[in-house]
Structure 1
Amino acid sequence: MAGRRKFIKLAGATGIAGLSGLAGCTGGGGDGDGTTESPDTEDDGGDGTTAADTTESGPSMTFGGDNTVDFGISPSVPQEDLEVQYSPLEDHIGSYLRENYDVPSGLEVEGTIGSNYSAIIQSLGQGTLDIAETGPFAAGLGVMTENAEIILQRYGYGGWTYKSIIAVPNDSDIESLSDLSGKTVAFSDRLSTSGALYPLFSMSSEGDLDVGELPEGNGSQAEFDARFAGGHVQSYTLLEQGQVDAAAMGGFVRDTKTGPSPDEWQDVATTLHEDEGLPRAPIVVSPELSEEAKEAIQTAFLEGPDSIYYGADGEEGTDDDLWFGDVREAGREEYQSVIDVAEELDIGTDIFDQ
């Protein structure tokens, strides 16, 4: 695969295309503005007057030039669940910022669903999103192209790391990765770590398959037919419906109730290949934000109560819980292994145009 495109800084813009607002998924504005008072006096210019005497100071911290913290949500779980899952978290971030920082009066947090990871990352780079939850691979590309900065790592399903799997139907005669030659394989999303990046790397390095330009391009040069399902559960669904010979996805689809129950999975699928130790998905921010704003968002997460992960009903262990239940500080170092795999595949920024 020599001669593949190398990383370059993203050029061009897609704006907020591919994103849709979440009605009702915003933090309450509240009656107070949560701002702090400016100092009573400032150094004067020699004439006895100060800036405070002649002008009214505005908030010291703004987000995207408006009164809204725009929160991008990636299509990693069924979209109908996102509003009830994320609303308490968004409410907390909004109230925390209003109570602890000098922010615009009535600051709110508004969730926005991305049609894919690419739309999320590009919008962060342009400053039309301020913060986002996304996958490790997408975040890694965002860092390398200066479109995003990683501030947090999430904890979910019992660990800070997770698995990537490739599954086949129970009655399949496919026994090894090399047997996928000439077959139809479903992948979750072009920028999915567990649903595309690691499966493709394993198919190439361990299965000795030609993956062509994937996950970029149309896959015409690959030794198999690739289908991008648009999500992890969707990838499993294509396998369940008999539309593909194999499907790549995060291991949580098999091991939790995110998609089928574990019992339902066993009735349908067999794990062909598994990669372990992938760092769980990060929280990222726009590089357009001030350092103070980035730190404020990070702190809002770190100091949030457990209830922000319990969903709209406020009860732990119910269907509207978020998939993650904790966060810790993180940066590029925690995701370097993902970036290394992307570099091994020589993935370039053309992937953002797919």
Structure 2
Amino acid sequence: MDRRDFLKRSGTAAAVGAGMGLSGCIGNFGEQPYGNGTVEFMVSPTEPQDYMRSQYNPYLDYLEGGLDGDVSVEFNYAADYTAVLQGLGSGTADVAETGPFAAALGVKSDQCDIALQRHAYGSWDYHSVIITRENSDIESLTDLQGKSIAFSDMTSASGSLYPLYQLKEAGLEIGDAPTSASGAEFDATWSSHAQAFEALKNEQVDAAGVGRFIAWNYDTSDYVEGIREVSRESGIPRAPMIVSPELSEEEKNAIVSRLENAPESAYFGADGEDGTDDDIWFDGVRAADVDTYQPVVDVANELGLSTDLLNEGNA
């Protein structure tokens, strides 16, 4: 069963936090923010919860095993990008993976610091696409006027901002999107990459704006069966890892350094084997900061969006 078959069979998971304690230790950095004896690692709900858990289990085990002290690492599946930023900003979460614009929002609102950029499939950037079903009569973006489109989280770069940018460039009115569908020349909903893709496959919407990764078969270098592309934007800097501003510099440096030096085996998923269904989607990281994601902020500016978007109906 390949990755897309897994997603199809698993469906979408409820977006709730789920703790997964791992044996081992992490630094003795004082009472805060590890007063409860754990380091909280949050993931954004880009794919089903159980799938992401199986991907990240050995990665977090590796993180936990290489830092000094007596603190465990826990996996937490966030409800959305906003929940990730709220967790880091409040100090109830310590490190997270998230989307590019969500990270820029977090920096703007002092809820996170960008620490790392992820590498996958041979590059440091990726694609945003608007897709439809193979049997659809939609051939171009202008054909989406009056149609229904499912997007990812409203602050997702590849699953919301870039698709909206493509629609605007094609001449369609986007209205108040992504904060609402008011004034748009299409019906719009926002959820997650996985949910948007499922809605398209289940014929609940006419098209989906998502990161291409959710609909791509990497074995055949093409879309999964029954799906085709309407439009694409490339060159989006791959998603970052962010850390809580509540961390001390010692804590932050210890976590970031450990993740920068992760061996290949840390990315192999729960079965410990390379090239299987539960491999984590990226294969390396490098140091990054908010400037790395300026192209995403530029697109948001083209849409007339402020990095205050987090507080405009998505808090």
Same fold (TM over 0.5): yes
SS of alignment partner, residue 101 of structure 2: helix
Partner of 2:213: 252
Aligned pairs for 1:86-165 within 5 A: 86-98=56-68, 103=69, 106-165=70-129
Aligned length: 298
CA distance in 1, matches of 2:24, 2:74: 11
- The code of the aligned residue for 2:140 comes to S
Contact 1:215 1:351 in 2 (8 A): no
Pairs within 5 Å for 1:1-354: 19-22=16-19, 25-29=20-24, 59=29, 62-98=32-68, 103=69, 106-204=70-168, 206-217=169-180, 219-228=181-190, 230-256=191-217, 265=224, 267-345=225-303, 346-347=305-306, 348-351=309-312, 353=314
Q: List per-residue Cα deviations over 1:118-157 (Å, max 9, x = no partner).
A: 1111111111111100111211111111111110011112
CA distance in 1: counterparts of 2:32 and 2:121, whole angstroms: 35
Give the 4+ runs in structure 1 shifted more than 4 A: 59-62, 261-264
| Structure 2 residue runs without a partner (length 5+) | 1-14
Alpha-carbon distance in 1 for matches of 2:108, 2:51: 31
1:353 Cα deviation from its structure 2 partner: 2.8
Letter matched to residue 175 of structure 2:
G
Deviation at 1:253?
A: 2.5
Change (3 A) 1:322 1:180: same
Larger Rg: 1
Taking the aligned partners of 1:304 and 1:263, their CA distance within structure 2 comes to 30
Structure 1 gaps, min length 5: 1-17, 36-58
Letter in 2 for 1:295: N
Between the aligned partners of 1:216 and 1:72, the Cα distance in structure 2 is 24
> Would the alpha carbon gap of residues 156 and 68 (structure 1) be closer, same or farther in structure 2, given more than 3 Å must change?
same
Please, what is the CA RMSD of the aligned residues? 2.2
**Percent of paired sites with the same residue:** 44
- Tell me how far apart the structure 2 counterparts of residues 168 and 236 of structure 1 sit (CA, whole Å): 9
Counterpart-to-counterpart distance in 2, 1:92 and 1:256: 28
Q: Which amino acid aligns with 2:288?
A: A
1:50 matched residue in structure 2: none
Q: Are 1:141 and 1:339, in contact at CA under 8 Å, matched by a contact in 2?
A: no
Aligned residue for 2:259, secondary structure, equals helix
TM-score normalised over the length of structure 2: 0.88
Return the letter of the residue paired with 2:51: D
Q: 2:216 touches 2:222 (CA, 8 Å); kept in 1?
A: no
What SS does structure 1 have at the residue aligned with 2:67? helix
Counterparts of 1:34 and 1:271, CA distance in 2: 47
Distance 1:286 1:272 in 2: 38
Q: What letter corresponds to residue 245 of structure 2 in structure 1?
A: P
In structure 2, distance between residues paired with 1:135 and 1:93: 21
8 Å Cα contact 1:182/1:225 also seen in 2 = yes
